[in-house]
Structure 1
Amino acid sequence: MTLENTKAIKASDNLVMIVYGKGGAGKTTFAASAPRPLILDFENGTKYLGERGINADVVRMRGWFSPQDINELALLLRDHDTVVIDPLGEAMEKLIDSPNIRGKQYRTGDGALTMAGWGEVKKQMRNFIKWLRDTGKHVIIVSHVSEISTEQGLEKRIQVATKLSDEIPNMVDVISYLGIQKQGDDFVRSLFTPSQGGLFDSKDRTGRIPMVVEIGEHTGWQDLMNAMVAPSMPQPTSSPIPNQTQQEAPNTTQPPSRITVAQTTEMRSLAERMSDPAGKSYLLQKAVSGITFEEAQEIINRAKASLGV
């Protein structure tokens, strides 16, 4: 057992990320812009990339990995810095249909997965993603989006088997929604990474990604890297030692527990400056919610970072 201090622990250089969105939004194109990518294409989504001037190595997956495939993948990764699973839902289907998930232990009489079968699928996918992560390469998991109408609005969730929806996000550092919108005569792609909770699946373990990042078709990864800000570190404050004859009373002022009027006003002001509809809608929705003071301030800080203010 080794004792370490957090200040001496450096974050690993590789990023494990889920990017999800509608078909045609540019998810695969974004993944292909990462450093020296190897795309594991589970639904033949890369067939037109070459015609668009995108250069990336691809393995078109017709089924799940055999032990020999894993050994060959390990060799291929020596010449690549990024590995892409595209898309997650189809990869899960091929794993579920693989010879690894057979027999009475894993299947009911009509072929559906048993509880043990779902457990084995989760175990194998979890181990595969961990193995990729531990190679030291960037890992980008591409996913389609499921849109669900609720009283709060239109939820956008990662499209994956229900029994795995809470499992996969725990394995990654970042979850971002990729959307596309028209601005004048142009179309703009944006990565949307709001605070966790609300209408979007979202996560930022790095604490460095702005809420909205506009990305180019061929420069998406570098645009994201350029937008990532240094993590904010609290600065220690020096307090004078009170003299023996006059003691100052301690400062007992506490921040409010809930979002303040000033924060609500600032969110609405920031929303007006947002060109991305998803970001604007998210800010307006949070401005009238009952979130905590700390969560509201985090949303404001991320929105300001997105706008460069």
Structure 2
Amino acid sequence: MPLMDSLITATTPAPPKMIVYGQPGVGKTTFAASANAILIDCENGAGAVRGLKRTPYLQSWPQMRQWLVELTSSPPDDVPALAIDTIDWMVQRIVEHVVLDLDPKAKGEITNTLGHCHGGYFRGREIVQNIVYRDLLPMLSAIADNGTAIILLAHAANTKITTPEGFDQRLAAPDLPQWIAQPFIEWADAVLYASQTGDQRTLLTRGTNVVLAKNRYGLAPELPLSWSALTLAMSDTPPTPSKEP
């Protein structure tokens, strides 16, 4: 069969893959609970959220990975969403695994850093990036392919970002190091900023000159911080095909 005959023209709706970030206490974990998500507990701060299904507190990347492998290979029935609380803590545990467990010259050395491990010159960063590109994101995509939405919760940080044009600007963004943040942002269908003004909690769905946000669904610029409101808005606006990897 000629390759041209395999071109796809139909839309293929799929569970969303999203990053939801904001200040502590804004309601990110409660948002995940309202999605009836299983929560990968990376920071031990979800115990007070009612009705939340969560793993035990996982203190290392191998522990976290074990759960992701099982969810990938043996997906449970009727799990609408998987949440990671938080992705910035998971990345930190991956960094610790690389610099403390995988470096043959300084195994268990607490002063080892990304700049000095694996021969120096920040080669440890490349190993962290390999884990994210070749292991973590493919597992999350496989879970999504099984019909489960992915919610990566993250703290917010004031981050300096260099635009493709070479200009530096400061934005509210997920609290991830700049050298590892881009793969997550490109992979996600939506990057949503959760904020609170008085009693009103909202999700910003489109980027501004001070906040990093995006979505592939043509969403209104602002929505209530509510899983039901978000999924309703997504169902009303089919996803836009992405050119990002």
**In which range does the TM-score fall when normalised by the shorter chain?**
0.7 to 0.9
Report the equivalent of 2:110.
Answer: none
Superposition pairs for residues 1-309 of structure 1, below 5 Å? 1=3, 2-6=5-9, 8-12=10-14, 14-34=15-35, 36-49=36-49, 54-59=50-55, 60-65=57-62, 68-74=66-72, 75=74, 77-98=76-97, 102-103=102-103, 107-108=117-118, 113-123=123-133, 124-148=135-159, 155-182=171-198, 187-194=199-206, 196=207, 198-207=209-218, 209-215=219-225, 220-228=226-234, 230-231=236-237
Q: Could you tell me how far apart the structure 2 residues matched to 1:205 and 1:62 are?
A: 33
TM-score normalised according to structure 1 size: 0.61
Q: Could you tell me how far apart the structure 1 residues matched to 2:93 and 2:141 are?
A: 18
Aligned amino acid, residue 25 of structure 2:
G
Conservation of the 8 A alpha-carbon contact between 2:217 and 2:234: no
The 1:76–1:63 alpha-carbon spacing in structure 2 relative to 1, beyond 3 Å, is farther
Report the equivalent of 1:282.
Answer: none
The 1:227–1:134 alpha-carbon spacing in structure 2 relative to 1, beyond 3 Å, is closer
Conservation of the 8 A alpha-carbon contact between 1:148 and 1:154: yes
The 1:68–1:153 alpha-carbon spacing in structure 2 relative to 1, beyond 3 Å, is closer
Aligned amino acid, residue 11 of structure 1:
P
- Where 1:166 maps in the other structure, the secondary structure is helix
Structure 1: any 5+ residue segments left out of the alignment? 233-309
Q: Could you tell me how far apart the structure 1 residues matched to 2:159 and 2:69 are?
A: 40
Structure 2: any 5+ residue segments left out of the alignment? 106-113, 162-166, 239-245
- Where 2:197 maps in the other structure, the secondary structure is strand
- Where 1:80 maps in the other structure, the secondary structure is coil
- Where 1:114 maps in the other structure, the secondary structure is helix
Deviation at 1:162, TM superposition (A): 2.0
Conservation of the 8 A alpha-carbon contact between 2:68 and 2:139: no
Deviation by residue 1:184-220 (Cα, 9 ceiling, x = unmatched): xxx11000112x463221111122x1111123xxxx1
The 1:40–1:81 alpha-carbon spacing in structure 2 relative to 1, beyond 3 Å, is same
The 1:111–1:148 alpha-carbon spacing in structure 2 relative to 1, beyond 3 Å, is closer
Deviation at 1:122, TM superposition (A): 2.9
Deviation at 1:81, TM superposition (A): 1.6
Deviation at 1:87, TM superposition (A): 0.5
Q: Could you tell me how far apart the structure 1 residues matched to 2:34 and 2:184 are?
A: 23
The 1:114–1:10 alpha-carbon spacing in structure 2 relative to 1, beyond 3 Å, is closer
Conservation of the 8 A alpha-carbon contact between 1:129 and 1:171: no
TM-score normalised according to structure 2 size: 0.75
Larger C-alpha radius of gyration, 1 or 2?
Answer: 1
Conservation of the 8 A alpha-carbon contact between 1:210 and 1:228: no
Conservation of the 8 A alpha-carbon contact between 1:130 and 1:171: no
